[in-house]
Amino acid sequence: MGLLERFRKRGEKAVIHTSRALSDLEQLCGDDKQTYEALHHTMFLDPRKIGASMKEAAENARKFTKERNLGRARIWYDIAGGLAIYEGDVKKVIEFFSESQKISGLKYPIVVDADKAVAKAQEYYKKHLKS
């Protein structure tokens, strides 16, 4: 008789503990959950694989905004913002993610403290993107 069968017969529930390894980004941010949340959905782990430059992404975003295709505009603003993180351009990070916020109504934590988030992202890139 296995462990689970014994618990089932007694009407007790088995508790299974799982643990997961922290990602490199979680390790880098440590206890700074705000910075981790700011980067978690906005930075690219390897932006060199994006098929557009920050300038091209921003142009696409503006074009789709003018065409009132707000879904595509938001996506391109997010791409431009992610590339701005990679380039370390805090001003552009705030600009692009602020535009994405306006279009989508979503809140981007990176807009609140972009300086700190971009600095952490730069540490990540220096460690993981040696080229």
Question: What is the chain's pLDDT, residue by residue, as a tens digit (131 residues)?
Answer: 565 565 566 655 555 555 556 688 888 888 889 999 999 889 999 999 999 999 999 999 999 999 999 999 999 999 999 999 999 999 999 999 999 999 999 999 999 999 999 999 999 999 988 75
pLDDT of residue 19: 54
- Nearest to residue 78, comparing CAs of 59, 56, 93? 93
Over its C-alpha atoms, the chain yields an Rg (Å, rounded) of: 20
Across the chain, mean pLDDT equals 87
Domain range summary for the chain, segments of one domain joined by +: 22-128
Task: State residue 129's pLDDT score.
Answer: 85
User: 116: which residues sit within 8 A by CB, 6+ positions away?
Assistant: 32, 35, 38
Q: For 45-61, b where at least 16 C-beta lie within 10 A, e where not — what string?
A: eebeeeeeebeebbebb
- Structure token digits, residue 73: 């505009």
Non-local CB neighbours of 1 within 8 Å, separated by 6+ positions: none
3-state secondary structure of 21: coil
Q: What is the largest CA-CA distance in the chain?
A: 68
